[in-house]
Chain A
Amino acid sequence: MQLSPTRPATALRLRLRAAAAALLAAGAVNAARAETPAARWQFDATGLGYVERSRTVVIEPVARITRLFESGQSLWLQTTLDAMTGASPTGAQPSGRVQTVTSASGTVSTSTANQVPTAPFHDFRGALDLGGVQPLGGIASIAASGHYSREKDYTSRGGTGQFSLDLDRHLITVTVGGSLYRDTVTPVGGIRVPLSDGTSFLPEGALPRRTSEGSAGISRVLSRRWMVSLNGSRTHEEGYLTEPYKIVSLIEGDGTPSPDSLLTEGRPGTRNRNALMASSVYHLTDDVLYASYRYYWDDWGVRSHTLDLKYHEELPLHDYLVPHLRLYTQTRADFFVFGLPQGGAVPRYATSDLRLGPLHSVTLGLTYGFTLPDHPGEFTIRGEYIHQWGDGHPASAIGVQQQLDLFPGEDVYTVTGGYTLRF
């Protein structure tokens, strides 16, 4: 086939040629105007407002700046601030009487009868993260990041790395990653000897906690509308894994916690965690359905199931609504107890920390994404409600404990705002 210049064009072709030329001329103006450089920066900000009914309030702003390069590389820097105030459960069991607990920071708190005793806290945390992404050969990429954070009694330092490879014309992606953290726990007032009466302290004022994690995942585009992924991770923690301020109540014969004596909690020095997660993203006519399920198990006896569902509803003018439902249930850690009998044998490990207890939680949320006229940024605003509860009437309840709810429900309300701007 060759273009032959000698054949005269037919009338039809001349008309087509003229219309095409007019289109190109009109488009050239817009093309020239659009030749401003591609976005080189991206700014993301998120702010969390978190309130637990009757307990904790947290404000957490996060800001990230990313430098984008033509080749697909990027570098980013992120700062996080966390201001926390409120009261957290000490691990002491509720009783029919008023209880007084002295916390490790020297403050004294009093709880009303029949309520789970709490101790006030007040903390501020700052974190700095730095990272980058480097594409390789158009089908792979590596990413790495470093982290440093600090709060009154806890310092965390570490990094992550990730490698991903696209197969079958970008329809399959395989990812492997890992992270290493070396944290230092420095409880206020010193570290009380675990599973003791709380009057003696370890010689060290600070103890390390090391975490290493490996993960791998495969994601695949199954059809024009549907992509799925499977991910697994394994984490090994070792070091000082105990909560330094929490206690275990010693329960007297009638089921009331002993007013004079307590036991500091103690957890094992290692923990191996595993998680398997399957996700699906399915595009309907305009909307998208997200579903994921995660199964978790560790060698402390905790096993959990998490089901997360989101529905992205596309609205006119680029806005959207995403209702969200999350269902969670976990079994208790092997060494979780609602108090130990006064005078009985002290086990090797024990905790009354409700977060390691048999608990369930439901989250209901709604995100609204929107843009403002004449402004290139994108906004999101999200409200979520989390209800967490557990079995507060275990078979092992003694005496008075049987009349009390040892694991009352908790309600959490969060508001999250987000903003993204490319320039």
Chain B
Amino acid sequence: MIVRVRPLALLAILAAALLGGCAATSVKPWDRDLLAQKRMSFDPRPMESAIDEHIYFSKEGSTGGATAGGGGCGCN
């Protein structure tokens, strides 16, 4: 079930696409109305997310992905 892909190769392709690709649809300054809203954020409730990271860190075997970590505890 787990796909064997070379993760670093995939990462390099996606990163290049994000940095360079799709330049055609550039967002004009007058189109930033929705983007300015508080809910247009990858993490609108950061303190709630930090608590979730703590919960899943102590119940599961994985960490990381979002931001550089914050704080250790004796729970994993």
Residues of A within 8 A of B (CB): 44, 46, 48, 50, 60, 62, 64, 80, 82, 125, 127, 129, 145, 147, 149, 151, 153-154, 156, 158, 160-162, 168-169, 171-172, 174, 177-179, 181, 183, 185, 209, 211, 213-215, 218-225, 227-233, 235, 273-279, 281, 283, 288, 290, 294-298, 300, 302-306, 312, 314, 320, 328, 330-331, 333, 355-356, 359, 361, 367, 380, 382, 386, 388, 412, 414, 416, 418
Asked if B71 contacts A44 (CB within 8 A), the reply is no
Asked if B25 contacts A223 (CB within 8 A), the reply is yes
Asked if B62 contacts A304 (CB within 8 A), the reply is yes
Asked if A224 contacts B32 (CB within 8 A), the reply is yes
Contact status of A328 and B35, CB under 8 A, knowing A227-B40, A297-B7: no
Q: Mark B31-64, 1 if CB is under 8 A from A, else 0.
A: 1111101011110110110110011101111111
Main SS class of interface, A: strand
Chain A CB count within 10 A is highest, among B37, B51, B54, for B51
Instruction: Give the chain B neighbours of A158 by CB distance below 8 A.
Output: 71-72
Instruction: Give the chain A neighbours of B7 by CB distance below 8 A.
Output: 274, 276, 295, 297
CB<8 Å pairs between A and B, sample of 12:
A46-B51, A220-B19, A224-B27, A224-B35, A227-B42, A288-B40, A330-B60, A330-B61, A355-B61, A359-B60, A367-B48, A380-B48
Asked if A178 contacts B41 (CB within 8 A), the reply is no
Q: Shortest beta-carbon distance, B6 to chain A, in Å?
A: 12
Q: Which residue of B lies closest to A354 (CB)?
A: B59
| Complex alpha-carbon distance, A348 and B34, angstroms | 56
Asked if B11 contacts A171 (CB within 8 A), the reply is no
Asked if A276 contacts B71 (CB within 8 A), the reply is no
Asked if B19 contacts A218 (CB within 8 A), the reply is yes
| Complex alpha-carbon distance, A233 and B8, angstroms | 11
Chain B: interface residue total (CB-CB under 8 A): 50
Q: Which residue of B lies closest to A293 (CB)?
A: B65
| Complex alpha-carbon distance, A281 and B15, angstroms | 17
Instruction: Give the chain B neighbours of A80 by CB distance below 8 A.
Output: 71
- Which chain B residues numbered 62 to 76 have a C-beta less than 8 Å away from chain A? 62-74, 76
Q: Shortest beta-carbon distance, B62 to chain A, in Å?
A: 4
| Complex alpha-carbon distance, A382 and B55, angstroms | 14
Asked if A160 contacts B51 (CB within 8 A), the reply is no
| Complex alpha-carbon distance, A107 and B46, angstroms | 39
Q: Which residue of A lies closest to B21 (CB)?
A: A220
Asked if B55 contacts A414 (CB within 8 A), the reply is yes
Chain A CB count within 10 A is highest, among B37, B61, B71, for B61
